Every structure is written in C-alpha cells, then in structure tokens.
Amino acid sequence: MSKTSLKSQPVSGKTAAETVEQRVDDLLKKMTLGEKVGQMTLFTAMWAETGPTIDRNFLQYVREGRCGSIFNAYTAAYTRSLQKVAVEETRLGIPLLFGFDVIHGHRTIFPIPLAEACSWDLALIEKAARIAATEASAEGIHWTFAPMVDVARDPRWGRVAEGAGEDVWLGCRVAEARVRGFQGDDLAAEDTVLACAKHFAAYGGAEAGRDYNIVDVSERTLAEVYLPPFKACVDAGVRTFMPAFNEIAGVPCTASRALLTETLRQKWGFTGVVVTDYTAINELVPHGVAADLAQAGELSVQAGVDMDMQGGVYFNHLEAQVESGKVTKAAIDDAVRRILRVKFELGLFDDPYRYCSEKREKRQVMSLEHLRAARIMAEKSLVLLKNENKTLPFSRTLRSLALIGPLAEADAELLGNWFGAGDGKQAVSVAEALRLKFGDSLRVIAAKGCEIYGGDTSQFEAAVAAASEADAVLLVLGESGSMSGEAACRVDIDLPGLQNQLAETVARAANGKPVAAVLINGRPLAINRLNEAVPAILEAWFPGTMGGSAVVGTIFGDANPSGKLVMTFPRSTGQIPIYYAAKNTGRPISPDKYTSKYLDCPNTPLFPFGHGLSYTTFNYGPVQLSAASMPMRGEIKASVKLTNTGTRPGEEVVQLYLRDLVACVTRPVKELKGFKKVYLEPGDSANIEFKITSADLEFPGHDLAPIVEPGEFEVMIGGSSAVCNGQRFTLLPDK
C-alpha cells in the first residue's frame, strides 16, 4: 500500500462516518503488530516536561513506526518537521497526533478555569476555549488535555484551579461549553483540537486534599457528584478521556474496567480514545495491584486504556503479551481503531500538515482580538467579596495611590499554573496597568512590603510610609503561581508568609483612607484576618495575560464586577470540606449542645457558593410559582422580580435552587438547577423566569437508577446559595 493511497477516497453511497470506518479498517489490515502498538504509544518531545522522563529517543521511535503520538511539541515549524518524519520516512506514513496542555489558553492566557467559571458566562467560557484551540492549532497542536471536569470541594487540593468548582450542575454546563469550544462544530476544520475529559473519576475527592491520594467514596456519591460532568462531556461529543491517578474502592482508575469499559463505553456509548495520565500505568506497581510493569500494562489494556502516556509500558511489553496470548489481538485492534479514527476525523490523513501553517500562526497567535477577549474574560471572572462603605471603585481623581504587596509588580505569577506556551513577560502586571492607564496623572507610591513567603519584616517600614502618604491604598496579595495546580496542595489555606500582618499594619497606617485588597490565587482562601483588616476585597484569581489591566480597570470603575463564587470560602481550614449542597444531619445545628456544630467556629462559610457583590445593588422580590402543583410529566414556572436599586448599570447572576423535602434517600439541603445573568440599568426591573420540569427533580434511587418521586419541593431564587426564602409546590404522581 502506498502512502498516498491513505488520502481521501470517497466511497460511493456511504456517509462520511462510514467512509472513515472503511478507511480505518483498510489501514488496520496493513499494519504489523509493532505498528499497532506504536499507535498506542505517546511520548514527549521534551519541549515542556510534566514529570520524570522515561525515554528521550522518541524521534527514532517515530521513524520506526513505534510511536504514533507526541506531546509537548508546538510551533508550526517544529511540528511540521516531526510530522514529516512520520509521513515521509515510515512504511505506512501514518501521521502523528500532537498533544499539549492547553488548559486556559495557549499563548494568550486566560484566567484559570476556576476563575472563568466564576463568570457564570457559558458563551464566554466557550469562546475562551475556542480562542485557545485557534492558537494551539495554528502552532501544530491537534489535542489538548482539557477540560478538567473534576468536582472539587476541598480547596487544599491544588488542582481546584483547573476545574469549575464544587457544584455538579454548573460543572456539567461548564464542561459542555469547554468541549464545544475546543472541538468546534467540525473536527475537520483546521482550527479545532480534540478535547480530553479528565480525570475519570473522582480525582477531586482525594483524601486530605493531597494530590494523587486515594479516594474513599460511596457508589452513591460517585453517581451523584463525580460522574455527571463526565457524562456531560460524552453527550457534548468529547473525543478523548483520561483516567484519574487515584484509586476508587481499591482499584486504580487506570486499571478499572468498570469505569473505562462498562460505564464509559458500554453504558454511555463513548467511542473515542482513552489515554493515560503521565506514567499512570507504571504507577499501578506502587499502587500494589501489579507486580511489575508487564502486569500493569496487561491490566490497563484489559481495562480499556488505548494509549500509554510517556510510561513506555505498552512500548516495551505489549507485543510479547499478544504473542503469548495474555492480551488478545482484538483488544489491540479495538484500541488502534479508535486512535486512527480520531486522526481521520481531524483530517490528518488528507493533509498531515494542515495544522502547521506559519502564516496562520503569525496572524492569529496573541492577536489583538484574542487579547481583548482575555481582558473581558478576566473582568467577568473577578469576584467582589467585600465592599464596606463603598470603598470601591476608587475615585479616578485620586492624586496618589500606595501600591503595596508582593504581587503588585508580578507579571508571570498572574498566569498561574498550566499556562501552556504563555510568556510571563507578555503579562500585564497591576503596576504596569496603572502606568498604562494613568501615566503621570496618578502618583503611584510602590512598596513591596514583604515576599509571598518568609518572615522578613524589613520592608514593612516603606509600606507604612507609602500608606501614610498616599490618598488611597491598594494591596495586591496572594499565592505564587506554583502554589496551586498539580502536586501543589496546602494544609493551611490562609495567606502565606507575613501578608496578613502586612495588611493589618498598612490598614492602620492608612488611618481611615480607602484601602482595598486584590487577591491573586488559585484556590479559595481562609482569609478571616484579611477580612477583618480591610474594608474591600476583590478576588482576581490568576487572571492571565491581561489580568493587571482587568484588575485596574475594575478597581477604578471602568468595569462593574459581576463574578460569583463557584467554590465556598471557609472561615477556617478546619471546616474543610465545606460546600453549599451538603445534606442535613439528624441533628441540624441549633442552640442545643448536642447538635452538629463546632465549639470554636460557626458552621457557615466566610463567603458562600454563588456570592459576589457589585458596585450597584439588586433587590429580589418574592418567588412566584405558576401553580401550587405540577403533574409528573408537566412543568411549573418560577419567577422573581429583580430590580437594580443602585446608581450604576450592572449584571446579576440570578440563581435557582431546589430542595426535595422528603425522598427515599437523603437529599442535599439545596441544589443549583439554573441561572440567568441579567443586565439592568439603574432603576430598571426585570421579571426573571425559570421553567422547572421533572428532569430537574431526578436523582439516583436505592439502586442508583434515575428516579423522580412525587412529593413536596422548595424553590429558592437569589443572588447566592445563602438564599433560604422560597415557595413550595407539590409534584403529583402519575395517574
């Protein structure tokens, strides 16, 4: 078979999908066992490593047909050079698949995914992923290892930065948006990349919030909390999946046939590729379920893993296992068929170099349009946690501003973790944004005050002097980019180092002048001390390339913050896990001694899920229902009158929560089931309406099969999960 014969050859009377299947089958028949195993092997190109290197000879393996995919390679020229080896120097000319961690932008870095979710703007989240795919594909990338859709309720876990927070329903909607953004409407278009749903499953439930740790979770919690966002990804058409590092019920996910075959493929109908996380097959040995790497590979392929990332286990052992009968040829063919299918779907057999366009690279990467979108996304992601006495926005007529804090001049830190091919030098710091906005018209008195870490107070004196001299004070505090993300977990999630002490000292020195703090971080923080020290706090997260400009514009009122938290802020690390959709106990909190409460801390969070203030104010009228009861197959409408009672135009995220008051199994005290983001001018009102159907009332029954039970339900609508006043309706049984 000649290499050119792999190109598109329409088959009369067949659909595009049928044609792809025919071409895959035709190619599979021509492949040797070694070439098939090569398609199941993924090695790094050493551009940006994410862990210990197993083998650096990837290029020779490509030339031998023993490596079918490469990750950590980008730029149009570099990927073209590698693709040329695969297409022109191998027997069958099967093109390479190039993967890269495009998590929240490629070159133009958007806010971390946790921050993006706080925008509650699904169209904007999808657009951010679309731009990331456009830039990545222009630099030769076909595949991103995103989105991470793990529900996470423990902010000690560093990878909360990569997900959409604690809520299941919202997590599903964000997952769908990001899959659509990455993959677009047509995978064969040149500006799409394969999305990868990760980490399947329950990775966010790691014990003690410690990365890679075991997950001890019930089947019910797995079904209700951790699996739904992955099912949403399948329904949205995601083409690749990545198993989690952790174990569930004694079985590491990379070796779990129950997850990867029975649930993912047989129950959900997923037809795409399952790729391991970095060296995850190798890690089955220290997990204790495999005696050696050969057995680890055997367990993984039998579980349903198609591709081995970087571990070299399939590369070294799989051929012998097929020849000895330990692994069937059918299992290998099934895996390779899935891998070849996505390569055909991307159009790589028709034009292996279609993603390697230097012209498109120059035109699209970090374009002005993309930078503007990154700034808008950063602005929409900001959450105004506190604003006593209308401290913010600062007056634009300020003559002087004290800019204090270890992150005030930071640029690269604003990118956070997993910032793809982003360049920290291209990021706009808060200090630079002030200079760009005001030039010489605002005197900025800068004083670092302290480092992010450590106990050196020698810079306090300069910070106090700056605060005493200036008309207002802006503190920029938080974490370094390396303090969140993979393998970046913390036992104490307060501000590190001396930052609390710095804030307290500076606030006293300001002596009543406006003081506001901006937080740069990758997780919810337990900031009781800061909350008591300053009147205004703006949560900026790691806001990306244009983060400084977004922060400064918002601080001075060019933009009105509208973000809402997607993860609860605890009062103390000791409250963790704390999340709004908890279940009641048999002894809910009350003044009685023997109820579910702490002796030294309220049960309530510092800032609840859904919380976020605005520079204007909104008033909610009472919840109105269209009927007192609803038939099982009918619907009911819930509405509320929202009024902008302030002096500025603004957006409000109106949130719908439901509670099933009595069910066959215990249910959460409330669950998010809808939201609408509403823009209102001062004095304007709008009637916000939600439609509720039986699908919104469904839950897993005793056997974990979905059921809807008749009974009484409570409807709550408000500006955060703290809303408690609502109306009740009765769901009637089928006649």
Among residues 277, 306, 660, 696, which one is catalytic? 277
Helix (H, G, I), strand (E, B) or coil at 550: helix
Q: Are 375 and 217 in contact (CB under 8 A)?
A: no
| Residue type at 689 in one-letter notation | E
Q: Are 477 and 517 in contact (CB under 8 A)?
A: yes
Environment class of 731 (CB within 10 Å of its CB; exposed 0-12, middle 13-18, buried 19+): buried
The torsion angles phi and psi of 293, rounded to 5 degrees, stand at -65, -35
Residue 712 vs residues 101, 416, 708, 720: alpha-carbon distances, Å: 46, 45, 12, 23
Give the tokens for residue 105: 């932008």
Rounded Cα–Cα distance for residues 121 and 173 (Å): 10
| Residue type at 156 in one-letter notation | R
Reading across the β-sheet that carries 41-44, which strands appear in turn?
143-144, 97-100, 69-71, 41-44, 308-309
Rounded Cα–Cα distance for residues 127 and 250 (Å): 39
E runs forming strands in 479-601? 515-520, 536-539
The Cα angle at residue 324 between residues 318 and 330, in degrees rounded to 5: 65
Give the tokens for residue 111: 């806010």
DSSP line for 599-640: SSS-SS-SB-TT--B-SS-EEE---EES-SEE-TTSEEEEEE
Q: Are 391 and 536 in contact (CB under 8 A)?
A: yes
Residue 128 vs residues 103, 133, 363, 371: alpha-carbon distances, Å: 10, 9, 18, 11
DSSP line for 411-428: SGGGG-S--TT--GGGS-
The verdict on whether 277 is a catalytic residue reads yes
Kindly list the catalytic residues. Answer: 277
